[in-house]
Amino acid sequence: GQNIDQPTEMTATEGAIVQINCTYQTSGFNGLFWYQQHAGEAPTFLSYNVLDGLEEKGRFSSFLSRSKGYSYLLLKELQMKDSASYLCAVNDYKLSFGAGTTVTVRA
Partner 1 sequence: NAGVMQNPRHLVRRRGQEARLRCSPMKGHSHVYWYRQLPEEGLKFMVYLQKENIIDESGMPKERFSAEFPKEGPSILRIQQVVRGDSAAYFCASSPQRGQGHTGELFFGEGSRLTVL
Amino acid present at 88: C
**C-alpha span between 23 and 18 (Å, rounded):** 17
Q: Does 41 bind partner 1 (CB under 8 A)?
A: yes
Count residues contacting partner 1 (CB under 8 A)?
Answer: 21
**C-alpha span between 64 and 78 (Å, rounded):** 22
Pick the closer one to partner 1 by CB: 50 or 54. 50
Pick the closer one to partner 1 by CB: 14 or 22. 22
Nearest C-alpha neighbor of 103 from the set 47, 52, 48, 60: 60
Q: Does 107 bind partner 1 (CB under 8 A)?
A: no
Binders of partner 1 among residues 53 to 92 (CB under 8 A) are: 87, 89, 91
**C-alpha span between 94 and 90 (Å, rounded):** 8
Query: What is the binding site for partner 1 (CB under 8 A)?
Result: 30-31, 33, 41-45, 48, 50, 87, 89, 91, 93-100
